[in-house]
Amino acid sequence: MKQYLELLKDVIENGAQKGDRTGTGTKAVFGRQFRHNLADGFPLLTTKKLHFKSIANELIWMLNGGTNTKWLNEHGVTIWDEWATEDGDLGPIYGAQWTAWPTKDGGKINQIDYMIDCLKNNPNSRRILFHGWNTEYLPDEKMSPQENVKNGRQALAVCHLLYQAFVADGHLSMQLYIRSSDVFLGLPYNTAALALLTHMLAQQCDLIPHEIIVSLGDTHAYSNHMAQIETQLQREPKKLPQLIIKRKPESIYGYNFEDFEIVNYDAHPSIKAPVAI
């Protein structure tokens, strides 16, 4: 994905030096966007190898309302461990807001059910979306993730916060807004997860997956990722792989990692970098 490499270069060349919540320091630009036609391949980076198992299992976990790292750990995913309590709790993060948004009368709203119902029965609606930005549960930045969880808040404020669908001529497109994007570590995962979600929704709703659009707010590279980014910018992109979904579950909640196959994924070696907590 040359657009992604161009974005990395943009951040490095044009980014403003900024402090941040983690104390690491960043270079950041504001307000960027890129798009990808899924007919051109599955957007799994080829300039560094990504761990698709983590991407797929994290999405499955979120769609099923997961907010504890235990299930992730059991399925070989450790990307949330640094923010969790000793019991694995992360507070009311993505899964809780997507599938059990609390209402003032004590009820819960499943936004994923709402989206699928719209895609099937009212595809021309301009309200086919779900989001996770619930201000009542945002963490206090003066506290640690674990302290926030113990106070009933999110361990980490949601970053990829708004997903909107658009249907035209039987084709499904999805746009994601990310308020805060770590371009080296987080963004490649978010992009692949968006593409996977689009394929899953399209299969469930008898639509053709078409285009994904990623819109970014604070778009930043951490100061301790600069050498890794320079390495990646020197690499030539390769042909994108293809995604095969081996079966159609009865619902969006029935997928397993084994249902997905990435075909012809030829990528440069992975590049390790520290995570800013």
Q: Is residue 275 part of a domain?
A: no
Q: Is residue 271 part of a domain?
A: no
Q: Is the dihedral of CA 112, 134, 160, 158 positive or negative?
A: negative
- pLDDT score of 169: 97
Q: 126 Cβ partners below 8 Å, 6+ apart?
A: none
Tell me: pLDDT of 1 over 80. no
Residue-wise pLDDT for 144-203, tens only, equals 999 999 999 999 999 999 999 999 999 999 999 999 999 999 999 999 999 999 999 999
- pLDDT score of 20: 86
Q: Which of 8, 60, 159, 185 is catalytic?
A: 159
Q: Check residue 98 and give left, alpha or beta (phi > 0: left; psi -120 to 50: alpha).
A: alpha
Give the other-Cβ count within 10 Å of 206's Cβ: 11
- pLDDT score of 191: 98
Q: Is residue 272 part of a domain?
A: no
Q: Which domain holds residue 161?
A: 2-263
- pLDDT score of 22: 86
Pairing label, strands 260-263, 242-245: antiparallel
Tell me: pLDDT of 275 over 90. no
Q: How many separate domains does the chain show?
A: 1
Query: Binding site membership for dUMP: which residues?
Result: 21, 126-127, 179-182, 190, 220-222
Residue-wise pLDDT for 50-68, tens only, equals 999 999 999 999 999 999 9
Instruction: Report the distance separating Cα 169 and Cα 171, nearest Å.
Output: 6
Q: Is residue 277 part of a domain?
A: no
- pLDDT-based confidence at 21, cuts 50/70/90? confident
Q: Is 118 a catalytic residue?
A: no
CATH number at residue 217: 3.30.572.10
Q: Is residue 99 part of a domain?
A: yes
